[in-house]
Amino acid sequence: MIDWEDAFIAMSALLGEPLDAVPGAIDRDLAKALRDPDKRRRATTLANALAAIAVAIEHVELTEIR
C-alpha cells in the first residue's frame, strides 16, 4: 500500500510538476529518489510508485451513488 503523500508526489511527477512545487513533501524518500541524476533510477522509482497506486485503485470498491 502506498501512503497518500507518496501517491501525491508520484502523480505530481507523472504530470510534470516540478518537485520544488510539492509543498511539505520534499524531504520524503520518494521525492529524493526522483531527484536522482540517473534517469533509469528515476524512471524505475516513479514506475514502482505508480504501480502501487494502480494496485490501490484496483482494490477500491466502488459504490453506487443514489
Q: pLDDT tens digit string along 36-56?
A: 999 999 999 999 999 998 888
pTM of structure: 0.72
Establish how many alpha carbons lie within 13 A of residue 43's alpha carbon, considering only the half-sphere containing its beta carbon. Answer: 3
What mean pLDDT do residues 28-40 have?
91
Strand residue runs (E) in 1-66: none
Hey, where are the domains in the chain? 4-58
